[in-house]
C-alpha cells in the first residue's frame, strides 16, 4: 500500500490581539522547528520539556533542528503519564529552567502530549514571573485541544487541573507525522476530543466524521482536515472568550463527567483523558435526553459513532471497581466548572447544539450515574 501523500501546511490563527499566535499544521515540522523558533525570537535560548517516550521518537530531531539554527538549549526529561502533572515535577521543571539560565526573553518548548504541554506551560507561566513558550504537541489530543488556548496546570488530589494559569503559547507546531508513532489506544483517545467539536456546534463536521473516521485513523488528507477543523473551532471560541467567562465553557462538553471518572480511577491508565471525554459526552447526551432536551436518537447516534471507533461508551468498560453515584457526584463538586457550589453542565439540544446549563438537579444527575453504573 503506497504511503499517503504529504499534506500541505495549514496555518490557523488564534486571534488575541498582541498575543495572537499561529498553529501550524503539517508534516516534518519538528525538523523545521529551529528555523521557525529563530525567526520567532532571534537570539533566543530554549529549555525543552519532554518525557521518555516522546524523547525516544522525536527529541533527537528537535535538538538537531535547534543546533542547525544555532539555538542554545537544554532538554529536561520526565516520566510519562498523568501523574507527572504534580507539584514535584513542576518544581523539577522550574529548577531546570532556571539552571539553564533561561531569561524572560527566552522560550520553554513543550514537546509531548497534553501532560507535558500543561506542565511545561504552567512552569513557563511562573518562572521569572513568565517566560514565553512554544507547543509542539505529539498526540492527537494535544494537537486538537490542550496545546491551543493557553490553559496550563497540574492536578491535585482534589481534582484535575485545579492548579494552573492561563498562559498563551507563542507558536504551536502540530506535526502530523508524530501521530504515526502513537499507540492505537492513544490515538483513539485523542479522537474523543475531535468528535466533541462536532457535538458542540458543528453537526456537519460530526456527520463528516461518521463517514470518514476510518480515513482519519489511516492518515493522510482526512486526518489533516480533522486536526485543522478542530483547531479552527477551538481558536474561534478562545478568541471570543480567552478566560472562560462565557461560551468557552462549551469546550468542556463531556468533561464534568470525564474528570470525575479520571479522579475515580486515580489518573491512571485505567482511563485515558480522551476516553473519559468520550464517556462523558455519552453521559452528557443521556442526561440531556432524560431532561427531554434532545431525542434518544441523538444519544444512540453518539454512542454508535464513539463505540464504532473503539472508544468506551459504558462505565463497565473501565477496568476495576468504580465508586457509587454519590461518590462520583462528590468528585464532580470539585470540578472547575462549579459555580457557587452548583454544578454547571454542558448539555445538548441535539447534535451540534450544545449549551451551558446551570442549576441542573443533582437528583437527575445521580439517576443517570446510577443507570450507567448498572449497565
**Catalytic residue among 85, 225, 255, 336, which?**
255
Same domain, yes or no, for 207 and 134?
no
For the chain, give the secondary structure using H, E and C. Answer: CCCCCCCCCEEEEECCHHHCEEEEEECCCCCCHHHHHHHHCCCCCEEEEEEHHHHHHHHHHHHHHHHHCCCCEEEEEECCCHHHCCHHHHHHHHHHHHHCCCCCCCEEEEEECHHHHHHHHHHHHHHHHCCEEEEEECCHHHHHHHCCCCEEEEEECCEEEEEEEECCCCEEEEEHHHHHHCCHHHHHHHHHHHHHHHHHHCHHHHHHHHHHHHHHHHCCHHHHHHHHHHHHHHHHHHHHCCCCCCHHHHHHCCHHHHHHHHHHCCCCCCCCHHHHHHHHHHHHHHHHHHCCCCCHHHHHHHHHHHHHCCCCCCHHHCCCCCCCHHHHHHHHCCCCCCECCECEEEEECCCCCEEEEECCCHHHHHHHHHHHHHC
pLDDT at 6: 58
Between 342 and 32, the higher pLDDT residue = 32
* Residue 336 clears pLDDT 80, i.e. is over it: no
245 band by pLDDT with thresholds 50, 70 and 90: confident
pLDDT at 341 over 70: no
One domain for residues 227 and 158: no
Q: Which residue of the set 160, 167, 177, 248 is catalytic?
A: 248
Residue 197 to residue 354: CA distance in whole angstroms: 10
Q: Which residue has the cell 504515526?
A: 180
Residue 330 within any structural domain of the chain: yes
How many domains is the chain partitioned into structurally? Answer: 2
CATH number at residue 127: 3.40.50.1970
Using N-to-C axis directions, what is the helix angle for 184-201 and 203-218, rounded to 10°?
160
Q: Average the pLDDT over 351-372 and give the result.
A: 95
* Rounded average pLDDT over 202-223: 96
- Active-site residue, 340 included: no
302: pLDDT strictly greater than 60: yes
Q: List the grid coordinates of 244.
A: 472562560
- Any catalytic annotation for residue 129? yes
Residue 165: which domain range? Answer: 10-181
* 190, 175: one domain: no
Asked if residue 344 has pLDDT above 90, the reply is no
> Does 263 reside within a domain?
yes
Indicate whether 220 pLDDT > 90: no
What the block records as the C-alpha cell of 39 is 525567526
The per-residue pLDDT for 5 is 54
Burial of 312 (0-12, 13-18, 19+ CB in 10 A): buried
Q: Provide mean pLDDT across the span 148-174.
A: 93
Task: Respond yes or no: is residue 234 known to be catalytic.
Answer: yes
Active site residue 259: yes
β-strand pairing of 21-26 with 10-14: antiparallel
Is 292 exposed, middle or buried, given 0-12, 13-18 or 19+ CB atoms closer than 10 A?
A: exposed
| The pLDDT of residue 338 | 60
Task: Examine residue 363 and state whether it is found in any structural domain, yes or no.
Answer: yes
Average pLDDT over residues 348-358: 96
- Residue 328 makes CB contacts below 8 A (sequence gap 6+) with 260, 261, 264, 322, 369
Overall average pLDDT of the 128-156 stretch: 96
- pLDDT confidence of residue 244: 86
Catalytic residue among 188, 225, 252, 262: 252
| Cβ–Cβ < 8 Å for 191, 140 | yes
Q: What is the mean pLDDT of residues 62-89?
A: 96
The reported pLDDT for the residue numbered 339 is 63
Q: What is the pLDDT of residue 335?
A: 67
Kindly state the average pLDDT of the residues 181-208.
Answer: 97
Whether 39 is catalytic: no
All three cell numbers of 23, joined, read 498553529
Same domain, 215 and 253: yes
Alpha carbon distances (Å) from 21 to 17, 31, 34, 113, 359: 9, 20, 17, 19, 36
Residue 294 has pLDDT above 70, yes or no: yes
Give the pLDDT score at 1.
43
Which tens digits make up the pLDDT trace of 82-104?
Answer: 999 999 999 999 999 999 999 99
The C-alpha atoms of residue 312 and residue 278 are separated, in whole angstroms, by: 7
Whether residues 62 and 200 share a domain: the answer is no
Mean per-residue pLDDT, 334-362: 84
Residue 75 lies in a domain: yes
Query: Percent of the chain beyond pLDDT 70?
Result: 96
Looking at 126, 157, 181, the residue that finishes a domain is 181
pLDDT tier for residue 7 given thresholds of 50, 70 and 90: low
Q: Do 143 and 190 lie in a common domain?
A: no
The residue-averaged pLDDT of 66-83 equals 96
Domain boundary among 181, 197, 212: 181
> Is pLDDT at 272 greater than 70 in this prediction?
yes
What's the rounded Cα separation, in Å, for the pair 5 and 237?
A: 31
Tell me: do 189 and 219 sit in the same domain.
yes
The answer to whether residues 161 and 197 belong to one domain is: no
Q: Note whether 167 and 145 are same-domain residues.
A: yes
Do 164 and 218 fall within a single domain? no
5 lies in some domain: no
CATH number of the domain encompassing residue 233:
1.20.1090.10
CA 29 from centre of chain: 20
Q: What is residue 130's predicted lDDT score, i.e. its pLDDT?
A: 96
Question: Residue 93 domain-assigned?
Answer: yes
Q: Which of 167, 223, 273, 305 is catalytic?
A: 273
Residues 167 and 213 in one domain: no
Which pLDDT value is given to residue 45?
A: 97
Whether residues 90 and 116 fall in one domain? yes
Q: Is residue 1 part of a domain?
A: no
Q: Which one from 63, 82, 244, 262 is the annotated catalytic residue?
A: 244
**Mean pLDDT over each residue of the chain, to the nearest integer:** 94
Candidate list 32, 63, 193, 262, residue with the active-site label: 193
Q: 137 φ, ψ to 5°? A: -75, 135
Active site residue 151: yes
Q: Which residue has better confidence, 287 or 336? A: 287
Residue 83 lies in a domain: yes
Q: Answer with the one of 148, 166, 181 that is the final residue of a domain.
A: 181
Cell of 216: 482519519
Q: Is 10 among the residues known to form the active site?
A: no
Amino acid at each position: 500500500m503506497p504511503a499517503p501523500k504529504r499534506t500541505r501546511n495549514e496555518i490557523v490563527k488564534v486571534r488575541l490581539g498582541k498575543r495572537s499566535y499561529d498553529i501550524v499544521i503539517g508534516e516534518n515540522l519538528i525538523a523545521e522547528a529551529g528555523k521557525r523558533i529563530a525567526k520567532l525570537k532571534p537570539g533566543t535560548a530554549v529549555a525543552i520539556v519532554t518525557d521518555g517516550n516522546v524523547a525516544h521518537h522525536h527529541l533527537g530531531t528537535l535538538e538537531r533542528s535547534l543546533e542547525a539554527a544555532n539555538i542554545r538549549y537544554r532538554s529536561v526529561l520526565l516520566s510519562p503519564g498523568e501523574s507527572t502533572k504534580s507539584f514535584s515535577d513542576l518544581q523539577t521543571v522550574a529548577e531546570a529552567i532556571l539552571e539553564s539560565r533561561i531569561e524572560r526573553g527566552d522560550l520553554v518548548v513543550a514537546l509531548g502530549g497534553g501532560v507535558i504541554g500543561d506542565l511545561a506551560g504552567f512552569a513557563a507561566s511562573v518562572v521569572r514571573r513568565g517566560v514565553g513558550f512554544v507547543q509542539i504537541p505529539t498526540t492527537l489530543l494535544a494537537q486538537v485541544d490542550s496545546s491551543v488556548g493557553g490553559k496550563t496546570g497540574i492536578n491535585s488530589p482534589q481534582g484535575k487541573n485545579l492548579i494552573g494559569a492561563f498562559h498563551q503559547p507563542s507558536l504551536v507546531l502540530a506535526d502530523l507525522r508524530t501521530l504515526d508513532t502513537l499507540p492505537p489506544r492513544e490515538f483513539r483517545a485523542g479522537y474523543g476530543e475531535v468528535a466533541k467539536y462536532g457535538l458542540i456546534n458543528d453537526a456537519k463536521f460530526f456527520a463528516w466524521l461518521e463517514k470518514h473516521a476510518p480515513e482519519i485513523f489511516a492518515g493522510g488528507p482526512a486526518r489533516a482536515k480533522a486536526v485543522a477543523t478542530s483547531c479552527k473551532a477551538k481558536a474561534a471560541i478562545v478568541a471570543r472568550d480567552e478566560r472562560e467567562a462565557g461560551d468557552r465553557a462549551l469546550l468542556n462538553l463531556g468533561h464534568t463527567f470525564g474528570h470525575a471518572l479520571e479522579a475515580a480511577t486515580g489518573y491512571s491508565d485505567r482511563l485515558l483523558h480522551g476516553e473519559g471525554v468520550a464517556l462523558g459526552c455519552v453521559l452528557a447526551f443521556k442526561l440531556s435526553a432524560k431532561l427531554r432536551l434532545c431525542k434518544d436518537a441523538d444519544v444512540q447516534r453518539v454512542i454508535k459513532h464513539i463505540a464504532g471507533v473503539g472508544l468506551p461508551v459504558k462505565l463497565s468498560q473501565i477496568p476495576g471497581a468504580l465508586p457509587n453515584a454519590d461518590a462520583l457526584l462528590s468528585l464532580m463538586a470539585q470540578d472547575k466548572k462549579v459555580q457557587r457550589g452548583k454544578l454547571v453542565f454542558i448539555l445538548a439540544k441535539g447534535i451540534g447544539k450544545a449549551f451551558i446549563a446551570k442549576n441542573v438537579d443533582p437528583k437527575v444527575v445521580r439517576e443517570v450515574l446510577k443507570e450507567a453504573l448498572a449497565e
